Amino acid sequence: MKYDYLIVGAGLFGAIFAYEMNKIGKKCLIIEKRDHIGGNVFTENLENINVHKYGAHIFHTNNKKIWDYINQFANFNRYTNSPIANYNGELYNLPFNMNTFYQMWGVKTPDQAKAKIKEQRYNANINNPKNLEEQAISLIGQDIYEKLVKGYTEKQWGKKCTDLPSFIIKRLPVRFTFDNNYFNDLYQGIPIGGYTQIIEKMLENIEVKLKTDFFDNREHWSNIADKIIFTGMIDQYYDYCYGELEYRGLNFYHETLNMENYQGNAVINYTDSKTPYTRIIEHKHFENSLSSKTIITKEYPKTWVRGDEAYYPINDEKNTKLFEKYYNLAKKEDNVIFGGRLGMYKYFDMWQVIDESLKLVNSLK
């Protein structure tokens, strides 16, 4: 074989794997169907602004080992994720905290906020939440659910909240302090100069072929290396033999505006059901970029259909059962290993992608 490893996909998972394997003398080839490296963390400098081309990527973790690992490739700033919610022109702080409760109800103390939520939970008569709607109301009350959760979530997932599992909403932080920091993690920031530089450094000594689709010449690529690290969709690899797993698709519409500041915040979520996009990202606020112009991105979730770019899996009960069938096929493979969000059919934050890739590397050393 010409290579020790063929890595399908030049995103974060594949780049870390190639970087680490190259350090111990393994010969790697990366093929990537897009025309750039970096996968969904790809950033492009336009108008002196590092544009997150596939949505906001804010690095956060409690794992010091992972934080130290990624910091060897770039210096990170102290960016704090503090999104704003826009509900039909009304503005609210996120995550749900005392600022939100004051804006919603005029309450000024934690006890007042807790009493309001308790009252609304009692009125809803929910004891054992069976779906996302019931879970959300039991956590933060009817008013916040209706204005800040329902419309946004149904746009995001393309399903009614009553049809979504309750565990999805459990990731949302609820705080009885005046703290607008979305994440609880100890380490948080954005690389100064964007994410692409990180992937470039990882792949400095790695052979990479862009605009190269594994499935256009599958037989050739399957026989070029001892092992394949596949970071694409696991169901596509198996030619959808058990049927399609569900994913969410996204459309990104980027605009360059002839003004210095469009919305005053990096991320504003549009939580009503009528606005077709879920959020507007204004990229210059991630790094306080100096530019006479600004670049915004509107993010439109969409139903994934075959041929579209898949962005994240839908881990409900139906899809989890279907994935188990593909996972059982994968366990029988001698020369193919699946990784990343799409290969493992699991929602990962960036730190988890790094962790999973390093675990794989250590298992193969």
The position carrying tokens 């100890």 is 186
**Rg (the chain; Cα; Å):** 22
**Residue 152 annotated in active site:** no
- Our answer to whether residue 248 is catalytic in this structure is yes
**Active-site option among 287, 299, 355, 356:** 299
Active-site residue, 341 included: no
Predicted TM-score (pTM) of this structure: 0.94
Query: What is residue 106's three-state secondary structure?
Result: coil
> Digits of tens for pLDDT over the chain (365 positions)?
799 999 999 999 999 999 999 999 999 999 999 999 999 999 999 999 999 999 999 999 999 999 999 999 999 999 999 999 999 999 999 999 999 999 999 999 999 999 999 999 999 988 888 999 999 998 899 999 999 999 999 999 999 999 888 888 876 679 999 999 999 999 999 999 999 999 999 999 999 999 999 999 999 999 999 999 999 999 999 999 999 999 999 999 999 999 999 999 999 999 999 999 999 999 999 999 999 999 999 999 999 999 999 998 988 889 999 999 999 999 999 999 999 999 999 999 999 999 999 999 999 98
Tokens of 223: 């026989």
279 is catalytic: yes
Our answer to whether residue 175 is catalytic in this structure is yes
Which is it for the CA torsion 342, 346, 351, 356, positive or negative? negative
Q: Which of 34, 242, 248, 316 is catalytic?
A: 248
Spatial separation of the C-alpha atoms in residues 105 and 183, rounded to whole Å: 24
